[in-house]
Amino acid sequence: MNLTLFDLDNTLLAGDSDYEWGQFLIDRGILDRADYEAQNAAYFEQYKAGTLDIHEYLGFALGPLAAHGADELGCWHAQFMQARILPMITPAARAIVHRHLDAGDLCAIVTATNSFVTAPIAREFGVPHLVATEPESAEGRFTGRVLGTPCFREGKIRRVDEWLAALGHRFGDFTESVFYSDSHNDLPLLERVSRPVAVDPDALLAAEAGRRGWQVLSLRRQT
């Protein structure tokens, strides 16, 4: 059996779900544009540059979840899926996921974006496992804090190892392990698998993939 891991934002999605969730809440008037939009954009630029302090960012990003109840959040997320996420899913992205699922691979989406935002997206793709940053909750509400290790950079390796261990597996059990990602932030996990694949890579990852002879592909085509 093979292990196949997919990054989500700007890999399976032609955009960033975490950034778009913030923008969606701004556009709906749920968050104040003046207070939130500039900071959201600044953190997104830090992520792309590889300078993001993940704990600082998560304190910012998880705050809106703590401010609202589950019913409201669920309603908004359903609208978010229709308005923002479905248009970012290309036929090519769906096809590559289903190719690995049909082959019987153990498949997971591995993403720094929190599981509230990403669990419905994983279900849309039909991927049975999600390894994501986990928002803490208590008494049915989010607290605004992170539960455990953020699924970011080296944290992705730890979280994947924990997930595999819970299933009774480890990396060495698989004939092949594959990770698809767009971002240089994912170099630690790309280096861990037996077949790293750069998908619509950022400039730093494209250069690294070229230097190491890694496969490069695009999922942005619409047909």
Catalytic residue list? 7, 9
Tokens of 88: 């970012």
SS3 assignment, position 198: strand
Alpha-carbon torsion 21, 27, 32, 33, what sign?
positive
* Helix/strand/coil percentages in the chain, nearest 5: 55, 20, 25
Q: Report which of 131, 223, 219, 221 is spatially closest to residue 182, judged by C-alpha positions.
A: 219
Alpha-carbon torsion 40, 60, 161, 77, what sign?
negative
Contact 4, 106 (CB under 8 A): yes
The phi-psi region of residue 161 (left if phi > 0; otherwise alpha if psi is between -120 and 50; otherwise beta) is alpha
SS3 assignment, position 202: coil
